[in-house]
Structure 1
Amino acid sequence: MPVRLAALAAWIVGCALAWPAVAADPAPPALTLDDAFVRVARAHPDLRLFGAQTDLLLAERDQASLKPALRAGLDIENVLGTGATRGFDQAEVTLTLAGVLERGGKLDARRALAQSRIDALSVQREAQRLDLLAETARHYLAVAAAQAQADIGRLDMEQRRRTVAAARHRLQAGASPESVVLTAEAALARAEMSVDRATQQEHAARQHLAALWGERDPAFLLAAADPLLTPAVPELEELAAWLERTPELAGFVGEQRIREARLQLARSAATPDLDWQLGIRRLQESDDTALVGSLSMPLGGTRRAQPEIRAAEAELASLGLERESRDVSLYSTLVQAHGRYRVAQQEVRRTAQDVLPRLARAERAAQRAYSAGAISYLEWAQLQSEHTAMQRQQLDAALEAQSALIEIQRLTGQPFVAGAGASGQGTSP
C-alpha cells in the first residue's frame, strides 16, 4: 500500500497541469512541478516528523515486549530484639527471588497493540504526503495563474497602445478631440497597473511555494505552463470506486487493528497474574538452611476488568460509524469537485472555441473601422475591454478546473490523467 501511494504521489496533479520543461538560462533554473514535489518531500518538517514518531513507536514496542522483571530480596527477622532475640543469635535470613507469571496472553496483546500502531503510521505518512503534494500543486498553480494574469495584462497593454496611437493620429488629423486621447491613455495606465499587480502576486505566490521546503529568498523561475489545459477525467462512478482505496479510508483499517488490540489487552486483564517467590532461609540458632516459597493471585480481576473491556468494545463498535461518516463526507467532496471540474472544463472549451475567436475578429475589425472613422472610440474600447474580460474569465474557469482536479486526485490518490489536454483545451487567440 505505501509503495503504491508513493508512486501515485509522484504523479498527482502533475499530469493534469501538464507542465512541460523548457530551455532556460542556467541561472536561475526553471522549476517544474515534479521538482517542487521532490523538494517538499525531502525538506518539509511534517514528513520528517514521522521518522521521530517511528523511533518512538519502535521503542514503545520494545518496551511492550519485555516480560515482568524478576525481583531479588533479602529478609532478616528476629534480630536486635529483647530476650532471646537480642543481637543476632536468633536471626533468620532469607534470600528470595520473585516474579510475576503473566496469564491471559498479556504479552502478546501488548506486542500486537504496539505493532498495530507502527503499521498504521505508514498509512498516515502517505496520507500526509499526498496532502502536502496537493498543497504544493495549489501553490504552484497560484504562481502559474499570476503569470497568466500578467500575460493577459500585457496583451491588453498592447491593445491599449494601439488605441492611444490611433487616437493621437486622429487628433492630429483633426478628426477626434483630445479627450479621446486622454481616455485612451488612462485605459493604458489601468492595463499597466494590472500587470504590476499580477507581478506582485506572482512574487508573493513564489515565496509561499518556496516556504514549503524552507526557502526564504526564492530565485527559481517556473517552467513553461499552460493552466488552460483541461484533460479528460473518468466518470463519477469510477472515481467513487477509487475513493474506497484512498489513504484516508485505508487509515481506518489500521485504526481497527489498533482498537482490536486494545480490546484484546483489556480482556487479558480479566485473567489474574500469579505472583511467585522462591528463596533460601538460614536459621542462625541451629545453623540450618531451608527452602521457602509462596504463590499469590489477586481476586476479583474479572470484575475489575469489565469497565475497560466495555470501553474498548464501544470504541471498536464506533469505528464503523466513524468510517461511514468519513466515507459520506469524502464522497460528497468528490461529487462537488467532479461537478466543478466538468462545469469549468466546459466553460474553458466553449470560450476558446466560440467566444474568444469572434471577439478577436471583432476587435480587429473595430480597429480598422475606427481608423476609417466608421465607429467611435468608445465602441472600440468596449470591444477591447470585452475581449480582455473574457480572457480573464476563461483563465478563472481554468483555474477553477485545475483546483477541482487537484482535489479529485488528492481524494482518490490516482494518477488517472494520461495525455493531459487530450480533451478540449482552451487557448486564447
Structure 2
Amino acid sequence: MLFRTRALALGAALALLPAPATHAASSTRTLTLSQALSRAVASHPGLAAADREIGAASGRGVQSGAFPNPELSFELDNAFGSKEKRNLDAAETTLQISQLFELGGKRGARMAAAAAEIDAARWDRGATRLQVLAETAEAFARTLGAQRRVVELENQVEDLDRLTPLLQRRVEAGASSSAEIARGRLATETTRVELAKGRAAFQAARRELSVLIGERAPSFATVGGDLARIGAPPSFDVLMARARQNPQLTRFTAVKAQRRALLAQAQAQAIPDVTAGVGWRHYREDRSNAVMASLSVPLPAFDRNRGGVIEATETLAKTDAERAAAERALTVMVGRAYDALRGAYDEARLTRASVLPVAREAYEAVRSGYAEGRYSLLELLEARAALSEATLKEIDALVSFHATLASLEGLTGSALVLSRRAQ
C-alpha cells in the first residue's frame, strides 16, 4: 500500500539524528529516534482507533454484498367463521416462500461504496501515522536540544568555577580588588540559575516525549542523536510535488469513488425491486391441494428518490472543492514550514561558520590576556557570555531546523534529501 510505504520511508528519513555509540548496559537508558518512532506508532491510541475503523469498514463491506433473506409466510383463511365455515371445516391453509430481487445495480453500487470506504479509512490511517511520526520526531528534537543546552550551561558553570582560583591569586597579588571575586561569583550563580531552568526544561521535554511513545513516566534518562547534522533543503516546488501525494490529499480519490457509488445507489433506488413467491395451498373442505405463485412490484408513482439523488449528486460535486481546499491549506503549511526551515538552516550555518569561531577566539584571547593582567574581569565575563550566547543561539537554530524538518516530512509524506554542504 502506497501510504504505508511512504510512512515507513518517513520513519527512515527521520533517522537524520543517529544515536551515538553506547555500552550495552546503558543502552536501555538512552532513547534513540528510531526507538521513539517505533514505540509511538505501536502505542498511539489514534492509530489503534484507525485500525478499528478499517475493521468496521471491512465489516460493512462484507454486509454490503449480502443478498436479501427469503421470506416464509403462512396463511389461514375461511376458519372460525359462521355456518359451514365454523371451526376448520372449510379452512384454506397456504405456505409460501418469497424472495426479493434487487434491480438497477443496487447491490453492486452498495459493494463499490463499501470498498471505497475501506480505502478511505486506510488512507486516513496513513495520514494519522505520518502525523504521529512527525509529532514524535519534533518532540525528540526539542528534547535533544534541551539536553544539549544543559550540557552547554554545565560547561559554562565549570568554566566560571575555574576562574575562582585565578581571581584569588590576582587579589592576593594586588592586581585586582576583592570585589572582583564577588562579581565572578555573581556570574557563576546567575549561570547556575540558568542551568536549573535548563534542567527543568529538559525534564518537561523528556516527559512530553515519554507520553508520545506511550509511557506514563520516562523510562530513559537521555536521548541520543547528532543535533549538529544539517543540510540545505530541496526547492519549494519539489516539496509541493511530494506534498500532493500526502494521504490527506490522495484519500480524496477513494472518497470520490465512494460518493460516485453512493450516487449510483441513490439513482438505483428509483428502480423498483421485484418480489417473487411460490407456495402450496391446502383446501380442507375437499382435501385438495394447489400450487400458487405471486409476483409483486411497487409502483414508483410518488417516491422516485429524487431528493436522495440530489443529495448524492451535490455530495459528489463538492469532493473536488474539498480537495482543492485541503490542497490550499497544505500549500500554506508547506510554505510556512519551508520558510522556517530555510531560516533555521541559514541561522545555524552562519552562526557556526562566522559567529562561533569569532566568539571562541575572542574568549580565548581575553582569557589568556586576563591571566597576564591585560584585561579586566568584566571584559573576561563579557567574552564568556558572548560565547555562551552564540552557542545557545546555534542550539536553538538546530532545534528549530530539525523540528521543522520533521513537520515538513510529515506534510510531504516522504524523506527529504538534504544537501551536504553544511553537514
Q: Give the TM-score taking structure 2 as reference length.
A: 0.94
Determine the structure 2 residue equivalent to 1:195.
195
CA distance in 1: counterparts of 2:296 and 2:249, whole angstroms: 47
SS in 2 for 1:304: coil
Q: C-alpha deviations, 1:378-428, integer Å up to 9, x for none?
A: 22211211211111111111211112211211111121326xx72214xxx
**Post-superposition offset of 1:272:** 0.8
The 5 A counterparts of 1:29-428 are: 29=28, 30-222=30-222, 224-300=224-300, 303-417=303-417, 422-425=420-423
CA distance in 1: counterparts of 2:11 and 2:422, whole angstroms: 25
Q: Which moved more, 1:377-386 or 1:5-14?
A: 5-14
CA gap 1:139/1:149 in 2 versus in 1, 3 angstroms:
same
CA distance in 1: counterparts of 2:125 and 2:185, whole angstroms: 56
CA distance in 2: counterparts of 1:358 and 1:213, whole angstroms: 41
**Post-superposition offset of 1:179:** 2.3
Say how many residue pairs are matched.
421
CA distance in 1: counterparts of 2:20 and 2:272, whole angstroms: 68
SS in 2 for 1:416: coil
Residue identity (%):
27
Q: Which moved more, 1:354-363 or 1:22-31?
A: 22-31
Structure 2's unaligned 5+ residue stretches are: none
CA distance in 1: counterparts of 2:351 and 2:142, whole angstroms: 22
One-letter identity of the residue aligned with 1:231: G
**Post-superposition offset of 1:50:** 3.1
Determine the structure 1 residue equivalent to 2:18.
19
CA distance in 1: counterparts of 2:118 and 2:297, whole angstroms: 34
CA distance in 2: counterparts of 1:86 and 1:171, whole angstroms: 131
One-letter identity of the residue aligned with 1:8: A
One-letter identity of the residue aligned with 1:24: H
**Post-superposition offset of 1:166:** 2.8
CA distance in 2: counterparts of 1:241 and 1:217, whole angstroms: 40
SS in 1 for 2:25: coil
CA distance in 1: counterparts of 2:178 and 2:155, whole angstroms: 25
**Post-superposition offset of 1:222:** 4.1
CA gap 1:165/1:25 in 2 versus in 1, 3 angstroms:
farther
Q: C-alpha deviations, 1:162-218, integer Å up to 9, x for none?
A: 333332222222232222211211211122222232223222322222222322233
Q: Which moved more, 1:51-60 or 1:130-139?
A: 51-60
Say whether the 8 Å CA contact 1:19–1:223 is kept in structure 2. no
SS in 1 for 2:230: coil
Q: C-alpha deviations, 1:228-275, integer Å up to 9, x for none?
A: 321222111111111121111111111111111111111111111112
CA gap 1:271/1:301 in 2 versus in 1, 3 angstroms:
farther
**Post-superposition offset of 1:301:** 6.6
One-letter identity of the residue aligned with 1:23: T
**Post-superposition offset of 1:297:** 1.8
CA distance in 2: counterparts of 1:326 and 1:57, whole angstroms: 24
Say whether the 8 Å CA contact 1:9–1:129 is kept in structure 2. no
CA distance in 2: counterparts of 1:33 and 1:302, whole angstroms: 64
SS in 1 for 2:218: coil
Q: C-alpha deviations, 1:107-147, integer Å up to 9, x for none?
A: 11111111111122221111111111111101111220111
Q: Which moved more, 1:46-55 or 1:332-341?
A: 46-55
Q: Give the TM-score taking structure 1 as reference length.
A: 0.93
Say whether the 8 Å CA contact 2:124–2:247 is kept in structure 1. yes
CA distance in 2: counterparts of 1:86 and 1:323, whole angstroms: 72
SS in 2 for 1:84: helix
Say whether the 8 Å CA contact 2:137–2:406 is kept in structure 1. yes
CA distance in 2: counterparts of 1:413 and 1:381, whole angstroms: 47
CA distance in 2: counterparts of 1:400 and 1:213, whole angstroms: 21
CA gap 1:346/1:213 in 2 versus in 1, 3 angstroms:
closer
CA gap 1:302/1:63 in 2 versus in 1, 3 angstroms:
farther
Say whether the 8 Å CA contact 1:12–1:406 is kept in structure 2. no
CA distance in 1: counterparts of 2:51 and 2:241, whole angstroms: 32
Determine the structure 1 residue equivalent to 2:8.
7
SS in 1 for 2:40: helix
Say whether the 8 Å CA contact 1:207–1:218 is kept in structure 2. yes
CA distance in 1: counterparts of 2:350 and 2:12, whole angstroms: 28
Say whether the 8 Å CA contact 2:160–2:188 is kept in structure 1. yes
**Post-superposition offset of 1:294:** 2.3
**Post-superposition offset of 1:351:** 1.0
Say whether the 8 Å CA contact 2:136–2:209 is kept in structure 1. yes
CA distance in 1: counterparts of 2:240 and 2:40, whole angstroms: 29
Q: Which moved more, 1:119-128 or 1:45-54?
A: 45-54
Q: Which moved more, 1:243-252 or 1:220-229?
A: 220-229
CA distance in 1: counterparts of 2:302 and 2:347, whole angstroms: 67
One-letter identity of the residue aligned with 2:247: P
